[in-house]
Amino acid sequence: MKKNDYETASYFYKKCLDVSVEDGLIKGEAEAYQGLGTCEENVLNIFYAMGHLETALEKSTDGNLEELTKNISKDLVRVY
């Protein structure tokens, strides 16, 4: 993401999401959705960014991941 290659970063986060879903890792799912949201935000797809970040927030809240929930909330506020 630091190289502004959001297409590759998005591909990476999608693969992370697939593995996390397959293995039942809530934290991994939340982090992957957060990454996808950030990628979409950086290419100005705000509607998709909001959707991914809202899903990330829901996952992190369900998993009682307080620190991650706080970080995702900050991202979501910025996108709104």
Entry pTM: 0.93
Q: How many domains does the chain have?
A: 1
The pLDDT of residue 22: 97
- For residue 31, how many C-alpha atoms fall within 13 Å in the half-sphere facing its CB? 12
Residue 41 covered by a domain:
yes
Q: What is the pLDDT of residue 4?
A: 83
Q: Containing domain of residue 48, as a range? A: 6-79
1 occurs within a structural domain: no
The band of 80, judged by pLDDT with boundaries at 50, 70 and 90, is: very high
DSSP class of residue 4 equals: S
pLDDT digits (tens, 9 = 90+) for 30-74: 999 999 999 999 999 999 999 999 999 999 999 999 999 999 999
Please give the pLDDT value at position 39.
Answer: 96
Whether the CB-CB separation of 14 and 32 falls below 8 Å is answered with yes
